[in-house]
Amino acid sequence: MRSHLLIRPAAIFFSILVLSICSSSAHAQFFEQSTGENATLTYTFSLTPKSPQPPIMKYRLYPSYSEQVPGNAAPLYHRAILLISQHSAHLKSPLKYWQEIDEWRLTPLEELPIDEVETVVNSYSSSLQEASFAARREHCDWNLPIKEHGVDVFSVLLPEIQEMRTVARILALRIRLRLAQGRLDDAIADLQTGYAMARHVGNRDFIVNALVGIAIGSIMDEQLLTALSVDSTPNLYWSIVNQPTPLVDIRNAIDVERDNIVTVFPELKEAENNIGDQAYWDQKLQDVIARNQLYQSNPRQNELDLMNLAYRAAIFSQVERVKQELVDKFGYDKRAVETMPGSRAILLYSYRHFQRLRDQYIAPIGLPYHQAQQFYPADNQISRELTVGDPLKLAETLLPSLATFQNSAARQDRWYAMLLAVEAIRDYAAIHGELPESLDAVRLPIPKNPFDDQPFTYQRQADAQTNATLEGVSARLPLRFQITLRQP
């Protein structure tokens, strides 16, 4: 997997959707995903009425400061990945093997084949131990060779980041096993490991890191929902409240990748300097064209030569317009632009055009999702802005789908809020012996849906005080909980 800037918007969304579906588990009678425009993730489960009891912070969902030890977590995660790979290398039917693991993560706890699952989980005990140690290190630096790759930074491979999903899959299965065995303390310890993994994977380097971190966090959220549906689990409202939020801060990845354009195309920044002659800038432009086309489609060399001839001619036909817009749109001195080599003017214009669009798309990231949406252009407008104006079309190639990226982060926040809602509902049921008629009736605060800043949709069935639906709407993937209250 190359770093994310080469992934188109649909691919980003699809990768996270598939990961969420493939890793789904809850102590639910079933999990389902409907398709089409009304696609919804649905979890059906039962709850035992309980209010928070002292000590209300007995269980922490993230390793505490006192548990953390000095050092870098990444080498230990690498060891965990290596141990999994060594074990998996000897599998006779790996596809069938992992399919069975995925099926177990969809199996209700009471139907889980304990002995078989325990045998599989135990075979990865060394790997999970390394992951547990790593999760309690003070920091995580993957030491990716970003600087060393220079202009080829977008080709940095991220196998360790992708393989952390496998660690999360196995860890999720062990959490389910421990819950089925009644080992809540051990399951919580594994949840701490999983949430720390998500944070360690997602909080630096590339946007791919953040997306995988968010996905791992969602896997752990599903296991936490499983834990909440277990009859013996105490109310964890205050434990969830004190979970680090956001678990993965997407702004870190945005900050790292914001200026990678000048790493990949240093010629753009160089074009700010009044140096070189026509031949000098012609060569610089040719280098940018060739590099950009390689990122777009990886054509064969003979095809690339033909494309360059046509592309170069099309680009130079826009010199007059580009020079005029450097003056009109970007405020450059008219006389200086008129004497500027056409190839330098094109590079300079492409740089300024990219910066303008980049900042337009990045700026709303700092706002809550429901506020940021008004500043994101519509899909058709984004397409038009990315492709019109810049002869080199660098923004079209390199700008990520930040609106889609922030949507993934909002789904993470929605999980956090809806888990709090579940525990607030359990608290109400413990006091009143029934599910609340509305969320306004609960005494524990529930955050609003990050997608619209409105209360979550909640409906108790009119003919039953023990069944209700809690739903968090979103632009792409609504999340629905079908809740049944256990009778004393």
Each residue's pLDDT tens digit in the chain (488 positions)? 333 322 223 333 333 333 333 333 334 444 555 545 557 889 999 999 999 999 999 999 999 999 999 999 999 999 999 999 998 888 888 889 999 998 998 899 999 999 999 999 999 999 999 999 999 999 999 988 877 877 777 677 788 999 999 999 999 999 999 999 999 999 999 999 999 999 999 987 788 899 999 999 999 999 999 999 999 999 999 999 999 999 999 988 888 778 888 888 999 999 999 999 999 999 999 999 888 877 665 555 554 555 567 777 888 889 999 999 999 999 999 999 999 999 999 999 999 999 988 888 888 888 999 999 888 776 556 556 666 788 888 887 777 677 788 888 999 999 999 999 999 999 999 999 999 999 999 999 999 999 999 999 999 998 888 999 999 988 678 999 999 999 86
Residues 265 and 251 in one domain: no
Neighbours of 189 (CB within 10 A): 19
φ and ψ of 139, to 5 deg: -150, 170
358's tokens: 């980049």
Q: 213: number of CA atoms within 13 Å, CB side?
A: 26
Residues 110 and 233 in one domain: yes
Phi-psi region of 401 (alpha: psi -120 to 50; beta: other; left: phi over 0): beta
Neighbours of 31 (CB within 10 A): 18
Q: Which residues contact 331 (CB under 8 A, 6 or more apart)?
A: none
Residues 296 and 365 in one domain: yes
Phi-psi region of 220 (alpha: psi -120 to 50; beta: other; left: phi over 0): alpha
pLDDT digit string, tens, across residues 292-306: 877 665 555 554 555
Residues 364 and 378 in one domain: yes
Residues 251 and 264 in one domain: no
Beta-strand pair 479-485/41-47: parallel
d(CA 358, CA 465): 51
* Total count of domains within the chain: 2
Residues 245 and 385 in one domain: no
Distance between the two ends of the chain, CA-based, in angstroms? 51
DSSP 361-376: HHGGGGS-HHHHGGGS
Residue 43, SS3? strand
pTM (two decimals): 0.87
253's tokens: 């990845």
**Last residue of a domain, which of 383, 400, 417?**
400
User: What amino acid is encoded at 55 in this protein?
Assistant: P
Q: Which residues contact 357 (CB under 8 A, 6 or more apart)?
A: 385, 386, 395, 399
Where do the H-state alpha helices sit in 203-259? 207-228, 237-241, 250-257
Looking at 330-456, which runs of residues are DSSP E strands? none
317's tokens: 């036909």
Q: What pairs with residue 470 in β-bridges?
A: 458, 481
The pLDDT score that the predictor gives to residue 29 is 41
Beta-strand pair 69-72/467-472: unpaired
Residues 108 and 202 in one domain: yes
Residues 343 and 383 in one domain: yes
- From the list 161, 209, 215, 169, the residue with the least C-alpha distance to 190 is 169
Residues 46 and 184 in one domain: yes
Residues 164 and 31 in one domain: yes
d(CA 183, CA 70): 29
Residues 240 and 288 in one domain: no
pLDDT digit string, tens, across residues 13-41: 333 333 333 333 334 444 555 545 557 88
Determine contact, residues 258/362, Cβ cutoff 8 Å: yes
**Last residue of a domain, which of 400, 420, 441?**
400
The pLDDT score that the predictor gives to residue 30 is 46
Q: Which residue has the tokens 């079908």?
A: 482
- From the list 235, 207, 194, 191, the residue with the least C-alpha distance to 52 is 235
Enclosing domain of residue 325? 260-400
d(CA 210, CA 460): 36
Residues 431 and 376 in one domain: no
**Last residue of a domain, which of 400, 420, 438?**
400
